[in-house]
Amino acid sequence: MPVLPTRHISIAIDRPVEEVYGFLADPMNFPKWAEGLGGAFVHVEGMTYHAKTPMGPMRVMFSEPNRYGVLDHAVIPDHGAPMHNPMRTLANGSGSEVMFTLFRRPEMTDDEFARDAEWVAADLARLKALLES
* Domain at 62, CATH number: 3.30.530.20
What predicted TM-score, i.e. pTM, was given to this entire model?
0.93
What is the rounded distance in angstroms from the CA atom of residue 16 to the CA atom of residue 6?
Answer: 28
Residue 13 domain flag: yes
Containing 84, the helix (H) or strand (E) segment is strand 83-85
Containing 96, the helix (H) or strand (E) segment is strand 95-103
Contact 98, 108 (CB under 8 A): no
Residue 100 domain flag: yes
Q: What is the predicted pLDDT for the residue at 37?
A: 78
Residue 1 domain flag: no
Q: What is the residue range of 17's domain?
A: 6-132
Q: What is the predicted pLDDT for the residue at 54?
A: 81
Q: What is the predicted pLDDT for the residue at 92?
A: 98
Q: What is the pLDDT of residues 27-58, one digit of tens each?
A: 999 999 998 876 789 999 999 999 988 888 99
Distances (CA, A) of 6 to 76, 102, 105: 19, 5, 9
Residue 60 domain flag: yes
Query: E-assigned strands of 4-77?
Result: 6-13, 41-45, 48-53, 56-62, 73-77
Residue 126 domain flag: yes
Residue 82 domain flag: yes
**Other beta carbons within 10 Å of 82:** 12
Which residues of the chain carry a pLDDT beneath 70?
38
Domain count, the chain: 1
Sign of the CA dihedral with 105 first, then 85, 125, and 43 last: positive
Residue 53 domain flag: yes
